[in-house]
Amino acid sequence: MRKCGSCKEEKDPSEFGKNSAGKDGLANSCRDCANRYQRENYMYKLGYREKKSVWSKEWIDKNKDTLEYRKRVRGYSIKIYGLTIADFDAMCVAQAECCLCCGKYVGWEKLVVDHDHKTGRVRGLLCSHCNSGLGLFDESKYKLEQAVLYLELFCKE
């Protein structure tokens, strides 16, 4: 027999889950207590997530046009490349809030700072798809040209 760490009842070892870190290889709580804990914890987290989502939406609605909102949305990427909010805004205006690579309008919230990984120089603002694509091709002109040739073999555009 083994005592459950949660309900303190003596139970058969077969009523406990496995835990390789335990002395005897069994969990501290019986399966019933562990399941109850998981259900309660899941419901708590689910409720908190919903509340947090509502709080976030309310905050965004109240602050959408403020400098604080802009700093929160793009603050990290702006700061890491030595840009100011004014620099970022000027780039957005110059690009008409469009991606420099594909030309698609995405709005300032979804533009990301593109930079040269070798020099660290900021090149412009791209949509996340184009920025990721360039990164996946290691910013290699040769690899991108090979990808274009490959597509030309199979695409009839």
Instruction: State residue 31's pLDDT score.
Output: 95
Instruction: State residue 72's pLDDT score.
Output: 67
Instruction: State residue 63's pLDDT score.
Output: 76
Name the residue with higher pLDDT: 60 or 39: 39
The model's pLDDT over 25-47, given as tens digits with 9 standing for 90+, comes to: 999 999 999 999 988 888 777 78
Is pLDDT of 76 > 70?
A: no
Dihedral Cα 52, 57, 63, 65, nearest 10 deg = 150
Q: Which of 123, 54, 136 is nearest to 111 (CA)?
A: 123
Is pLDDT of 99 > 90?
A: yes
Chain centre distance of CA 122: 22
Rama region for 54: left / alpha / beta (φ>0; ψ in -120 to 50; rest): alpha
Q: pTM score, two decimals? A: 0.56
- Per domain, the residue ranges of the chain are 2-63, 67-154
Looking at the domain 67-154, which fold is it?
A: His-Me finger endonuclease fold (3.40.1800)
